[in-house]
Amino acid sequence: MRDMCQPGPLYMPEKMPAGFDPDGGDWRYTLLGPDGQIVGQTGGRADVWMGHCKACHVAAREQDFLLFPAPPYRRKMN
């Protein structure tokens, strides 16, 4: 059985200064590998691979490109 605590990839959105990517809400998407090294980054290394992040997030353009879990799955905050 696979160890469920193994490090995996980490996808990180980062809000950049205005003008970075106006069509994408000025978000930069970065993919880190299990070793912490950058595997891909919008406007940087492997930029073409990172296009899938923006492709999904444009559906949430009216929410500053932020995607949220559906209401039944959200945890209530106190």
The pLDDT tens digits along the chain (78 residues) read: 556 677 788 999 999 999 999 999 999 999 999 999 999 999 888 888 888 899 999 999 999 999 988 888 887 777
d(CA 16, CA 19) in angstroms, rounded, equals 8
Give the number of other CB atoms < 10 A from CB of residue 3. Answer: 5
How buried is residue 39: exposed, middle or buried, by Cβ count under 10 Å (0-12/13-18/19+)?
middle
Name the pTM for this structure.
0.76
Contact, 36 vs 9, CB < 8 A? no
Contact, 56 vs 50, CB < 8 A? no
Check residue 55 and report its DSSP letter: H
